[in-house]
Amino acid sequence: MKPDGSRSHPVRSCRDITDYYPTKPNGFYFIDPNEGSKNDAVLVYCKLTQRLTCVNATNGLIQSHMFSKNRIHYGKNIRLLGDLQQSEVL
């Protein structure tokens, strides 16, 4: 069975939905870009007719127990998707 974008069977991207199920309508689907655990899948809006993935902005809260206590950024500036201005995302 191919993933269908449900909570129990998230897809890798909205594009997978159009590839696997070309007649599915625009709507909310679960994606899991890292294809790790379905527990970290994200609910997004897939505008399938235009091949767009819309992610809801967040306030950037991250549970500290999910990451190492040491800050390792490998010399790169990290910006959360929710911190970007709309014009930067489009």
**Domains in the chain, start-ordered, CATH in brackets?**
14-89 (3.30.750.130)
As a whole-number percent, the residues of the chain with pLDDT over 70 amount to: 62
Task: Please tell me the distance from the alpha carbon of residue 63 to that of residue 73, in angstroms, as a whole number.
Answer: 17
pLDDT, tens digit, for every residue of 19-43? 999 999 999 999 998 887 888 888 9
Bridge pairing between strands 52-54 and 42-47: antiparallel
CA nearest to 9, candidates 39, 34, 54: 39
Average model confidence (pLDDT) across the chain: 76
Task: Please tell me the distance from the alpha carbon of residue 82 to that of residue 13, in angstroms, as a whole number.
Answer: 19
Q: What pTM value is reported for the model?
A: 0.62
Quote the pLDDT of residue 1.
77
Q: Coil, strand, or helix at residue 34?
A: coil
**Residue numbers of the chain with a pLDDT score lower than 70:** 57-90
Q: How far is CA 50 from CA 1, 24, 75, 84, in A?
A: 25, 13, 36, 22
